[in-house]
Amino acid sequence: NETAIEYWNQGGLITISAHLYNPARTNELGGLRDNDVDLNALLATNSETHVRWMHELDQLAEGLQQLKEAGVVVLWRPFHEMNGDWFWWCGKDPDTFIRLWRQMFDYFTRTKGLDNLLWVYSPNHGNRTAAYYPGDNYVDLIGLDAYTDYIDPSHIKGYAELARIDKPFGFAEFGPHAPSNPPGDFDYLRFLHGIKDYFPRTVFFMCWNGKWSLAQNTNVTEFLNDPWIV
């Protein structure tokens, strides 16, 4: 939070991408990539999983409240890549997922009073990008997560489906190369040109860190100074 507040005070925008503990686990933290979680158990008020889930939400809300008190607006991005199969919330029944998203939204917004959050819905590029959309009253921004050097519809799929939703669109998570072992030699002007040509509704982006990041690749100054980006 200290870093986020400092960056906000310098004029930055804050994104929090939440990789949450699996509350279905009884005796240890973690479980990010568990694949046997029943989301209904998180919502069943008489279950131990629900109790652990609410404790987790309370911990998150406490940190987000600190940011609210500091005047920080947060692009809050929970449950990202929900149409994939690699996190415990991924690939579930869309109706149940939507209920879970709305439960978090209602708890944070109405119970906790966190009005400093902009809710970002960001599936992975590919299939069913709009199938898990929680509804216009529960989302502020939409975006795709994509890891590729090739910024075009044959390599980044699902844009047309998502772009039909009347919300500001962006690349909520981007990285060149692939989800692992990037070489760090990507020309970020390729990203700019691809967005201009094929993803014109884009109004924001967030690049992943390490060798995917702006700091580790090439033509970044030219990219950021382009009038279209500005």
Q: CA–CA distance from 134 to each of 38, 67, 152, 199 (Å)?
A: 18, 25, 27, 23
* Cβ–Cβ under 8 Å, residues 68 and 5: no
Q: In b/e form, how buried is each residue of 147-172, taking b as 16+ CB within 10 angstroms?
A: bbbebeeeebebbeebbebebebbbb
Q: How many residues does the chain have?
A: 230
Clarify whether 81 is annotated catalytic: yes
> Would residue 48 show up in a list of annotated catalytic residues for this protein?
no
Containing H/E element for 74? strand 74-78
Name the catalytic one among 69, 81, 161, 222. Answer: 81
Among residues 28, 62, 69, 173, the one annotated as catalytic is 173
Q: Which residues are catalytic?
A: 81, 173
